[in-house]
Structure 1
Amino acid sequence: MTQAHTLPDTMHAVAISTPGGPDVLRRQPWPMPACGAGDLLIRVAASGVNGPDLAQRRGQYDPPPGASPLPGLEVAGVIAAIGSAVEGWQIGDQVMALTNGGGYADFVAVPAGQALPVPAGWTLSEAAALPETWFTVTQTLVLRAGLDPGMSVMIHGAAGGIGGAAIQIATLLGARAIAVVSSAAKADYATRLGAVATIDYTSENIATRALELTEGRGVDRVLDIIGGAMAQTNLAASARGGHIVQVSTLDGAKAEISLRTIMAKQLTLSGSTLRPQTAATKAVIASYIRAHLLPALAAPGFTRPMVTSFPIEQAAQAHASMEARGHIGKLVLVSPFGAGQ
């Protein structure tokens, strides 16, 4: 292992004291993570807050075997040590990375294949808002559902982290993003990210409006984080041969759907969770992002996601804010190291 200087034996991390509400999050001393031969050890400047973190805190999403018990699935920071089998990185490089947990900490060890360079001009807080959502959308909507140029894609929760990533990825790949939102402010944000149209579900019928926007065909792809009764709406809004991607179930894990509609429209419904997947799978996703999407992020004029930052000591407040579902963009936790960047 190569490292810049002597590393501490302990660090601070936000741990889950017991399953429960946001107040169970505790920042406390924690052992330093080991940097394996294929890993990068990252000194964390900022870590993104995501739905799986909330589910883990509630006791609803256990870490996979061998993963860190700490929450935090994406970070940005500076490489502090490099495993003996890793090439292509140097001590001090700024990186953003998908973690296997452990992001709410001063340091985290990450398989090198899950790291990407921070786009030129981006702050580390902005970069920390990208990996978990961009990896999720790239794998499910692009690599699995085969999003192609010219397709229409309806995106639920379009002003949040997953939704915002889906809008930007779809737009970069030449697809038409239709954003489902709940307010004028969220519609404006989705439009700035690249959505060609918006649907306000508080005042419009989603399926009816989706059909209107596609001249009666329906949408080619759907990215859904809602679940529950929204599943049947997605079927009604879909075009023949459409593909519905389920990546979360904020409004319910069970749904009653019409199998006849699925058969008649020749629809595909797929689901996925990212954290339990192998390092090799995640490295493939990272390679796609690096080759096909990352160059655009450094271009002048690219709209960066809206980021609301909390000091890591206020992790409980960040979780409470996300659970209220009124925020726009991404929430990130800034470490003492990151506050100086």
Structure 2
Amino acid sequence: MAETMNAVLPDAYPKLVWGTQPRPVAGEGQLLVRVRAAGINRADLVQAAGNYPAAPGESAVLGLEIAGEVVALGTDVTGFSIGDAVFGLVPGGGYAEYCVLDAALAIRKPAALSWFDAASLPEVWMTVWLNLVELGELRAGQRLLVHAGASGIGAAAIQLGKRFGAEVLTTAGSAEKVAWCTALGADRVINYHDEDFVAAVKAAGGADLILETVGGDYLGRDQQCLNRDGSIIVIGLLRGTKAELNVGLLLVKRQRVQGSALRSQPLDAKARLAAAVAEHILPDIVRGALKPALDRVFAAGDAQAAHDYVVQNRNQGKVVLAFD
């Protein structure tokens, strides 16, 4: 292998420009992966804008989820061989020809799954498992509200909520997205341009758990339709970092508001989530009971166009980069 590779150059952010970077080397417990596909996440957009720097010691190249072939093994790696097809969550470096992946986070790619579908899975399904199952303690019979249902996270949350026996309500911004979320299994899809989601959720009986992907002023509105002993899990800040909460309502209704982020979780926590996806999610995806919800694949060289597509909120589900 060459000592260099093509990658999106961090020095050019916010523009996505391809150039030559040193090829990474697999360290202890790591795999070196020839990247075939990389998922795009809103965290990538925020990082490119200069507002979400990579963790100290990690690659500044964008990209938090990849799929590809193992081409080298670091020290103390067991259970994997060169040539294995894998996918998984990475702390950065995915928009490149080669990327290191912790073996503890690597999931074997079934032959029935394309590179593109595989690259669309780790971030969304680990996120929804963490926030709906582990933190939200979602149970059958509860009412779940998912904001931005046509996003990658939203699509996964709708499906996981239904799998756990919850009634799922979600918000979306167009008739097309309303239809798409309904086809995924949502019981009620609220077009936020046409109706107030607070009134709609209250009319349905209120929410027991809210997955808040929007942030800002949505948080106070969430409180208004959250039931007694309900929880709001905040994972996104599309509408800003400032919110106004009614503390009196918080106390009287015993509401819980919790922030959550996957990227800052320690390796052992991410490994637990990867194992949960491999055990509980992947078999259902392979047999068609759950859907990857892949929207569109862009050539890696068109990464800027792919980011623009997501910024414009045109996607329904995940957007992925393909490496030839």
The TM-score, its normalising length taken from structure 1, stands at: 0.91
Mapped to 2, the partners of 1:19 and 1:254 lie a distance apart of 26
Mapped to 1, the partners of 2:91 and 2:16 lie a distance apart of 18
Mapped to 1, the partners of 2:190 and 2:134 lie a distance apart of 26
- The Cα of 1:303 is off from its aligned counterpart by 3.1
Tell me which of 143, 158, 171 is aligned to 2:134: 143
Residues 308/191 of structure 1: CA separation in 2 closer, same or farther (3 Å cut): same
Mapped to 1, the partners of 2:59 and 2:80 lie a distance apart of 23
Aligned to 2:32: 41
Sequence identity (%)? 35
Aligned to 2:213: 225
1:14 aligned onto 2:14: no
Aligned to 1:3: none
Residue correspondences, number: 324
Residues 119/262 of structure 1: CA separation in 2 closer, same or farther (3 Å cut): farther
Aligned to 1:329: 317
The answer as to whether partners of 1:180 and 1:199 remain within 8 angstroms in 2 is yes
- The Cα of 1:168 is off from its aligned counterpart by 1.9
Mapped to 1, the partners of 2:105 and 2:165 lie a distance apart of 25
Tell me which of 303, 309, 319 is aligned to 2:297: 309
- The Cα of 1:134 is off from its aligned counterpart by 1.3
- The Cα of 1:140 is off from its aligned counterpart by 2.0
Mapped to 2, the partners of 1:269 and 1:284 lie a distance apart of 24
- What is the RMSD of the two structures over their aligned residues, measured on CA atoms? 1.5
* Structure 2: tracts of 5 or more residues without a match: none
- The Cα of 1:150 is off from its aligned counterpart by 2.3
- The Cα of 1:83 is off from its aligned counterpart by 2.4
Aligned to 2:154: 163
Within 5 Å, give how 1:1-341 maps onto structure 2.
7-20=1-14, 24-213=15-204, 216=205, 218-300=206-288, 302-336=290-324
My pick for the range that moved more, 118-127 or 281-290, is 118-127
CA displacement, residues 147-184 of structure 1 (integer Å, 9 cap, x when unaligned): 12222210111001111121122222222221211112
The answer as to whether partners of 2:128 and 2:157 remain within 8 angstroms in 1 is yes
The answer as to whether partners of 1:227 and 1:251 remain within 8 angstroms in 2 is yes
SS in 2 for 1:25: coil
SS in 1 for 2:145: strand
Residues 312/57 of structure 1: CA separation in 2 closer, same or farther (3 Å cut): same
The answer as to whether partners of 1:120 and 1:298 remain within 8 angstroms in 2 is no
Residues 330/171 of structure 1: CA separation in 2 closer, same or farther (3 Å cut): same
In the TM superposition, structure 1's runs of 4+ consecutive aligned residues that sit over 4 Å from their partners are: none
The TM-score, its normalising length taken from structure 2, stands at: 0.96
- The Cα of 1:326 is off from its aligned counterpart by 2.3
The amino acid that maps onto 1:17 is D
Mapped to 2, the partners of 1:317 and 1:68 lie a distance apart of 22
The answer as to whether partners of 1:97 and 1:114 remain within 8 angstroms in 2 is yes
CA displacement, residues 175-198 of structure 1 (integer Å, 9 cap, x when unaligned): 222121111211121122221221
